[in-house]
Amino acid sequence: MKFPRENMIYHERHCPPEEEKLHCLIPAPKGYMTPFEWPKTRDYVHYANVPHKNLTVEKTVQNWVQFKGNVFKFPGGGTMFPQGADAYIDELGSIILIADDSLERHWTPVVASWGAYVLKRNVLAMSFTPRDNHEAQCSRCLIPWTANDEMHLMEVDRVLRPGGYKKMETCITPYPKVSRANKVAGGELEKFPARLFSVPPRIAKGFVEGVSSKSYQEDNKLWKKHVNAYKRINKLIGTTRYRKVMDMNAGLGGFTVAL
């Protein structure tokens, strides 16, 4: 086998070797239809773009996805949210302030529909949805947060840029000590969206090996330059046409934040 079995790595997509990489726009498959605009695309997908009905059969009792006419419909409920994701978020809102500034950049180990529905409440979520044979999604909540040097937390930190995380212990890890009650543990964070390009406190304080404030800002400038060049070629960048972009060589995440 070419790839190792640890952490289901052999199931992952892998970048081609350098000599096989494509440096051109790849045309859409024959019959591909322009996706619906947001927020309709949250609830509907053209069957022609994903011509596979397996989940509508295997998960029919869970009400995750339905096949109707020539589209797939995602009810936004399923076994996790029998009354719908909005009702579940409203229930959470009675306990915590969902739209509070401190939750502007939020992450969750549950299903993607939850992340899609909190987006309209100005909360940006990152969903971890491994394969079912991992038994690590939904109500099982078996995301291995402490495994592989906290690899999953590092990915959350890189993609959402919340300003850094505290290394996890076996149990609850306390916040760093502060000198006064009005100080913020770990360092003051900028408000979103200014936080996208500001240097995180942990980098500014030299806690990240190999990354300095200067190199972090240079990475931001580099990707702003590249994205501006891309927009001269593709006028749809920056519109609602694109909502998900997979960066296979993300580094510090500068490409994502520039978009």
What is the reported pLDDT for 221?
Answer: 94
Q: Which two tokens stand for residue 222?
A: 């580099």
Cα(76)–Cα(80) distance, integer angstroms: 9
Query: DSSP labels for 173-187?
Result: PPPPP-SSTTSPTT-
The distance from CA 89 to its chain's CA centroid, rounded to whole angstroms, is: 18
Could you read off the pLDDT tens digit of each residue along the chain, which spans 259 residues?
A: 577 877 777 777 777 788 887 777 678 888 999 888 888 988 999 999 999 888 788 777 777 788 999 999 988 776 777 788 888 888 888 887 776 555 445 555 556 677 788 888 877 777 765 555 544 445 455 677 777 777 777 777 767 766 555 444 443 344 456 677 666 666 777 887 888 889 988 788 887 788 999 999 999 999 999 999 999 988 888 887 776 676 666 678 888 888 8
DSSP H or E segment with residue 118: helix 112-118
This prediction's pTM: 0.61
- Let me know: does 112 contact 129? Beta carbons within 8 Å: yes
Nearest to 106 by CA among 126, 91, 120: 126
What is the reported pLDDT for 111?
Answer: 60
Q: Which two tokens stand for residue 177?
A: 């000590």
What is the reported pLDDT for 146?
Answer: 77
What is the reported pLDDT for 151?
Answer: 76
Q: Which two tokens stand for residue 54?
A: 């397996």
Q: Which two tokens stand for residue 2?
A: 């070419």
DSSP H or E segment with residue 44: strand 44-46
Cα(83)–Cα(105) distance, integer angstroms: 25
What is the reported pLDDT for 75?
Answer: 82
Residues with Cβ within 8 Å of residue 71, at least 6 apart in sequence: 44, 45, 46, 47
Instruction: Give Cα separations from 170 to 142, 189, 235 (angstroms).
Output: 15, 27, 49
Burial level of 156, CB count in 10 A (0-12/13-18/19+)?
buried
CA atoms within 13 A of residue 93's CA, in its CB half-sphere:
12
What is the reported pLDDT for 251?
Answer: 76
The distance from CA 183 to its chain's CA centroid, rounded to whole angstroms, is: 29
The strands making up 66-68's β-sheet, listed across from edge to edge, are 44-46, 71-73, 66-68
Query: What sections of 124-247 are H helices per DSSP?
Result: 151-160, 201-204, 213-233
The dihedral through the CA atoms of 135, 141, 146, 152 has a sign that is positive
What is the reported pLDDT for 132?
Answer: 52
